[in-house]
Amino acid sequence: MPCLPLLALLCASLLIVAHGQSSAVTPIPRKSVFHKDFHGKLFQEDGVWNYTTMLLREDLGLLMLGAREAIFALNISDVSERKSAVYWRVPEDKQRECTYKGKNADIECRNYIRTLHQINSTSMYVCGTNAFSPTCDYLTFADGQLKLGDVHEEGKGKCPFDPFQRYSSLMVGNDLYSATSINFLGSEPVVLRSSQTTLRTEFKSSWLNEPSFVYMDMVPESEHSTDGDDDKVYLFFSENAVEYDFFNKLMVSRVARVCKEDMGGQRTLQRKWTSFLKARLDCSVPEPSLPYIVQDVFLLSGDNWESGIFYAVFTPQSDSSDLSAVCAYSVSAIRDVFSMGKYKTPVSVETSHIKWVMFSGDVPSPRPGACINDAARSQGMTRSLDLPDKTLQFIRDRPLMDDAVRPLTGAPLLLKRGAAFTRIVVDNVAALDGQMHPVMFIGTESGFVQKAVNYDGEMHIIEEVQPFETPQAIKILRLSLSTGHLYAGTESGAVQMPLSDCGRYASCQDCVLARDPYCAWSLTAALCSTLPRSPDTAPHGSLLQSLKEGDASSCPQSAPVTASAVYVAPGNNIRLDCQVDSNLAQVNWHFNGQPLQTTAPKHFLYNQGLLIFNSSASDMGDYTCQAIEHVGAHEYPQVLASYQLLPPQATTPPTGQGDQSDQDQEVSFTEPPVSQITAPKKKPAGGSGELSPDQPLPNAQVRKITGLQVAVAVLTVTLVAVIGFALFFSRQRLRSRLQKARRTTKNGTAYQPASQDKTDNPRTDQNCNDSVNTVTFSRKGTSNGPAVAIASIGEESEI
């Protein structure tokens, strides 16, 4: 049986993978920037949804945005500024017709703008689903106004019927390449070139088998070609595999390509591609799994086309895992598979059953699927129409390559647990060392944008940013180098965000340990500054950056943190703030020079500091909060805050300002997060009382104890004891639960129930962040120093 070796191979590879690391450890974003601290621009319009098509018109200073029944021209430097809009609604009769065919009037029978391409300096081409009746038109922008041409061309094959179906399209010159379904049912996939000679794929499952199209781009391979080769259009998609049969339906990721000058065949493959070749795209993750599925791709162009690299995001095809991956493929590696690799061929086994195996017979010449090149020309074939039937018949029946395309470094560049990756763009950034570093911006299902790099195999997530207020999947990402901004679209809006925000790094250590290629610490300005795009113009001498090593040892010593005096009456609760810059730092508290033994219900350690309940004489003394960040073999300790707890002064000022200070210090405390000392601390970025470690802490206020306050204190003490106990017990419970959870993961089962993963897996940092984010301190008054407070506990905490 010829299928056995294949099956064995696949099982073997699964086993090899299974014996490796069974549950991949994935990086935690160093910083989390939540929506409230996000300083970007948002565009949305009432009653308009599905902002998922974009076209950058840097030449006009515009971002063209396609949504449901509307196209907007926005200021590319400030997308909240709308320059013009056109509405393209579905005529009533069309909508009625659509509902007669069984589609939902308000959802499917609308016009979703799906295709938006530039034709020339004044004209654009736009297509919409138009109530399951795809239609295209010309769009112009003149005198500050958008205008639709009212041409209403047939859009079949250029734009999907079904707004929920994935598709891809590309404009090359005046030719529109599109990959979508060409019929109402969505069952007839096609890769189409609409041009003078319209070409399409053969309707055969060996060509396209229930595909989901993801991305297309052109590579100018004719440039400096030594063999007179043609430019090529690459297409990425997933489809049902024909080459494996151990599963009913097994999806695989594919890359396919066609030649730009293809004109189809004369007799065989008339008006069909003679150059359609496809190969499996490999992206193996370090845990046993079915093949991962490509979701989006970005072509990072190099100095020449050969150094181009496709970056692709992958997610699992079953929901047994919450791991996402980025794999990169060099254009030349893909090209080699197509131009030199072996083909697969179908063979019949056991009468009706078809197996795909490697073709080992004689391959006709010219090579099937090759573009017309000098070799073909020397044989008198100048167009694909001249190709011999033998070559064409071969390719018609065998469009699949035997070899898979392997990722650049053999492994994913990034792996992450948590919300699934949806979209990717990549910027090649020149760093201070003169090297180029590809920075990946990855959108997720939960609406975060991850900014990540891979330094010689080490995965590092510089930050995660939440540009939208509510969790929503990022459906489109675009990068503009001329504005230095990223544009993200979702069903409910579009945002613009800077590629870097170096000002967010407050200290030299924070700036250098961020390992962000866009940023360097300026010793002269004592600021984390943005590097110019061309590093040659930068005054190197005074800038510090250490990307691969994360070496912050050259940073100037930051000024020692002065201890703040805190006067505490016995029985009071005290909150000592300590804000950490990095999710990767560990926090340690010291008491009188010794590591603080945090004991419940006395102490409570959380992401913003330390709580001490029912203080007594034995709690008086010096407290310091230290963050330690490890990078490689180095560790960088940094004292963030220091307090001196003192008994109340005998000369307590009388009441009077009592009210004021009371307000400053009142803290209402809801849902305390349970954190362990050893857990990396999450910082809800820019939360109240952000401490810059370089600044001396403002002096703590002296607590004033009035008669009334004493009475209140006595009452609170009682309350606190009760809550303290509740806290203690629930914490114990949670801790043992956590330990149990950890033990299970250690025992080698990589699989966790998907539903749990998405909601309360303590190891997915996204979720950690979410839970951290729910901790709210509402503090009356305006004090934002390291306030010392009686915790007048507002609500009873429930864990």
Ligand X SMILES: *[C@@H]1O[C@H](CO)[C@@H](O)[C@H](O)[C@H]1NC(C)=O
Place of tokens 């030199």: 340
CA–CA distances in Å: residue 748 to residues 20, 24, 417: 11, 11, 16
User: Measured from the CB atom, is 340 or 721 closer to ligand X?
Assistant: 721
Least Å from the CB of residue 41 to ligand X:
9
**Whole-number Å distance between alpha carbons of 263 and 387:** 11
Q: Which stretch binds ligand X (CB under 6 A): 113-121, 176-184, 268-276, 772-780?
A: 113-121
Residue 44 interacts with ligand X (CB under 6 A)?
no
# residues contacting ligand X (CB under 6 A): 24
Least Å from the CB of residue 52 to ligand X:
7
Residue 692 interacts with ligand X (CB under 6 A)?
no
Least Å from the CB of residue 569 to ligand X:
12
Residues 561-620 contacting ligand X, CB under 6 A: 571, 614, 616
Residue 492 interacts with ligand X (CB under 6 A)?
yes
User: Measured from the CB atom, is 616 or 749 closer to ligand X?
Assistant: 616
| Cβ-based neighbours of 598, under 8 Å, separated by 6 or more | 589, 604, 605, 610, 677
Least Å from the CB of residue 83 to ligand X:
7
| Cβ-based neighbours of 38, under 8 Å, separated by 6 or more | 465, 466, 467, 497
Least Å from the CB of residue 179 to ligand X:
18
Q: Which stretch binds ligand X (CB under 6 A): 31-39, 70-78, 198-206, 434-442?
A: 70-78
Residues 326-385 contacting ligand X, CB under 6 A: none
* 421-440 b/e (C-beta count within 10 Å ≥ 16 → b): bbbbbbbebbbbeeebbbbb
Q: What own/partner pairs with CB < 8 Å and gap ≥ 24 does 596-599 have?
A: 596/623, 598/677
Whether cis (ω within 30° of 0) applies to the bond prior to 680 is: no
Residue 482 interacts with ligand X (CB under 6 A)?
no
Q: Which stretch binds ligand X (CB under 6 A): 114-122, 526-534, 590-598, 784-792?
A: 114-122
Among 35, 45, 57, 77, which residue sits at the site for ligand X (rule: CB under 6 A)?
77
User: Measured from the CB atom, is 571 or 648 closer to ligand X?
Assistant: 571
CA 278 to chain centre: 27
Q: Binding mask 397-436 vs ligand X (x if CB under 6 A, - otherwise)?
A: ----------------------------------------
634: which strand partners? 631
The continuous run of DSSP H or E covering 721 comes out as: helix 707-746
Least Å from the CB of residue 646 to ligand X:
17
Q: What 3-state DSSP class applies to 288?
A: coil
Q: Which stretch binds ligand X (CB under 6 A): 18-26, 75-83, 339-347, 401-409?
A: 75-83
Residue 50 interacts with ligand X (CB under 6 A)?
yes
Residue 797 interacts with ligand X (CB under 6 A)?
no
Whether cis (ω within 30° of 0) applies to the bond prior to 698 is: no
> Sheet holding 189-194: strands in order across?
168-172, 175-181, 189-194
Least Å from the CB of residue 472 to ligand X:
7
Residue 164 interacts with ligand X (CB under 6 A)?
yes
Task: State the DSSP code for 46.
Answer: T
Which token pair is 122? 């004044």
Least Å from the CB of residue 720 to ligand X:
6
55: which strand partners? 64
Among 14, 61, 188, 590, which residue sits at the site for ligand X (rule: CB under 6 A)?
61
**Whole-number Å distance between alpha carbons of 290 and 288:** 7
Least Å from the CB of residue 371 to ligand X:
27
Q: Which stretch binds ligand X (CB under 6 A): 5-13, 120-128, 627-635, 669-677?
A: 120-128
Least Å from the CB of residue 468 to ligand X:
12
Residue 718 interacts with ligand X (CB under 6 A)?
yes
The strand ranges marked E within 159-230 are 168-172, 175-181, 189-194, 212-219
**Whole-number Å distance between alpha carbons of 343 and 336:** 13
Among 22, 44, 75, 99, which residue sits at the site for ligand X (rule: CB under 6 A)?
75
Give 452-465 as a 3 state SS string: EEEECCEEEEEEEE
User: Measured from the CB atom, is 628 or 714 closer to ligand X?
Assistant: 714
Nearest Cα residue to 644 out of 707, 699, 606: 699
Residue 112 interacts with ligand X (CB under 6 A)?
yes
Q: Which stretch binds ligand X (CB under 6 A): 21-29, 76-84, 578-586, 727-735?
A: 76-84
Residue 228 interacts with ligand X (CB under 6 A)?
no
Task: State the DSSP code for 242.
Answer: S
**Whole-number Å distance between alpha carbons of 312 and 320:** 21
CA 134 to chain centre: 31
460: which strand partners? 453
User: Measured from the CB atom, is 82 or 737 closer to ligand X?
Assistant: 82
User: Measured from the CB atom, is 90 or 279 closer to ligand X?
Assistant: 90
Q: Which residues bind ligand X (CB under 6 A)?
A: 49-50, 61, 75, 77-78, 81, 112, 119-123, 138, 163-164, 491-492, 571, 614, 616, 717-718, 721
